[in-house]
Each structure stands twice: as C-alpha cells, then as structure tokens.
Amino acid sequence: MVISSQKELDLISSACKIVAETLFKLKNYIKPGVSALYLDKIAERYILSRGGFPAFKGYRGYPATLCVSVNNEVVHGLPLQTKILREGDIVSIDVGVRYKGYYGDGAWTFPVGRVSKEAEKLIDVTKKALDLAVSTVRAGVTIGDIGSVVQEYVESQGFSVVRDYAGHGIGKELHEFPQIPNFGKRGKGPVLEEGMVLAIEPMVNAGSYEVEVLLDGWTVVTKDGSLSAHFEHTILVRREDALVLTSI
C-alpha cells in the first residue's frame, strides 16, 4: 500500500512493532529441546496480549501463528509439537500481525546453540543481504535494483537465492502489489514511490536455489537438502531512504 495519512502510518507501525517484539521475545526461548509448537503458543499469546491478531492463522487455511522452518526448510514450516530444536540447528521464524486492519510481517533466522561455520556464514550473508536491500530502497529505485543487489551479494558468497517466493507489498492485506523477487536486473520492474510499504525477504540456500513442498502442503524445503536462511523486514519507502518498521 501507499501510506496516505499519519494515522495509517501509526497503525501499520503498531502492527510492525508487535512483529518485532514477538521475534525479540522468541529469541530468549530458542534453545535445544524446545518444540516449535511451544514457540507458536508464546507468540500467539504475546500478539493477542498486545491487541494484535496472528495474520497467518487462517490465511488460506494456514493453521498456526508462526512459520517455524528448521535447517533445510526454507519457509512455511509448520510449528509442530514433534519439531524439537536441537543443538546446531538453524531455525527461521516468520511472523505476521494484523492490528486494526493493518499488517506487519517479519522473519529472522536464529542459531540453536553452537552451529557449524557454514550455518553461521549462511545466517550472516542472508542478514546482510536484507540490510543491503533495505539500504538500496528510496523513492525512484526499481524492484529490479533491490533484487539485483540481493542476488549479486548472495551469489558472490557462494550461496543462492530462492526464486519461487518473493517479498511483497503489504498494508491493508498481507500480500499486495508489487512482488519483490530476490533476483533481477538493475533498472527493471516497477518504480518505488514515496510512502509505499514493502516486505523485503531474502531466502538464501547454501546449495541450489531449487525448492519443493512437502506432502503437508506447506513446508517448503531445499531440493538438495542444503541449509536455508530467511530474514524479513517491513519497511516504508521514503524520499531519500527506507524506514524499517519491524525493528525494536
């Protein structure tokens, strides 16, 4: 959406703040032995206590508050009771919040205890890819400018960007125009306008970019079994830069 009033900005900022606080809170619970379902319950309780509503719950039939994707799971991992975090895992947590009709969306990949050097690098590269994307954003740049920055950096580090899923506009709906792929060519695609709200979300695989969906119909995994990381911020496009809305 394109923000048209201060009130709209305040509401979407509130939704995004709840997203950021939820991820911050969950960070303390991520340790070996904890189940994904437990994280989901904590997140749901917190979001409701702040006056928000879990945006993913019921979205096209999705049954939970969080997406909890472990190791080779890319996105949309179901927070099952049987999904127990183990030392050395990496876990991507994606959370969406609706607050008074406005949406915020954010994700973070956390290490569980001590992780391998490769996993550490994957997390660092994916986070930096998001930071680079955000620093590229201002009114007048194109969607291709964002995608090319992410793709070039990630590939220079020996990893790949997922093609089948993209960032998106956000605001009055969870997914709005435009789509923001994590690859592309400079100068191509729709031009960003001041006031646009976007969810930028690099999904980076340690191996090939190809993904597939498990039989549960949701969980997206890397086809080659390699690790995957995911970071996401909801941002506001300003004249000279981007304002990150999903930060504490």
Partner 1 sequence: MISKAGKDKGRYFVIVGVDLEGDRLVLCDGEKRSIERPKKKNIIHVQFTNQFLEDIRNMLLRGEIPSNSEVRSGLRRLTKKEGGV
Q: Which residues bind partner 1 (CB under 8 A)?
A: 55-56, 59-62, 67, 76, 94, 96, 163-169, 173-177, 179, 181, 183, 188, 201, 213, 217-218, 220
* Contact (Cβ atoms closer than 8 angstroms) between residue 153 and residue 128: yes
User: Which of 111/167 has CB closer to partner 1?
Assistant: 167
Radius of gyration over every alpha carbon of the chain, rounded to an integer in angstroms:
17
Determine if residue 187 is left, alpha or beta; phi over 0 gives left, psi from -120 to 50 gives alpha, anything else beta.
left
User: Which of 10/212 has CB closer to partner 1?
Assistant: 212
Minimum distance, C-beta of residue 114 to partner 1, in the bound complex (Å)? 30
* Listed residue (140, 129, 217) closest to 167, CA to CA: 129
Contacts (Cβ under 8 Å, ≥6 apart) of 6: none
Q: Count Cβ neighbours within 10 Å for each residue of 176-196 and write b for 16 or more, e otherwise.
A: bebebbbbbeeeebeebeebb
User: Which of 174/227 has CB closer to partner 1?
Assistant: 174
* Contact (Cβ atoms closer than 8 angstroms) between residue 90 and residue 119: yes
Minimum distance, C-beta of residue 188 to partner 1, in the bound complex (Å)? 8
Minimum distance, C-beta of residue 31 to partner 1, in the bound complex (Å)? 25
User: Which of 115/211 has CB closer to partner 1?
Assistant: 211
User: Which of 104/181 has CB closer to partner 1?
Assistant: 181
Minimum distance, C-beta of residue 187 to partner 1, in the bound complex (Å)? 12
Minimum distance, C-beta of residue 74 to partner 1, in the bound complex (Å)? 11
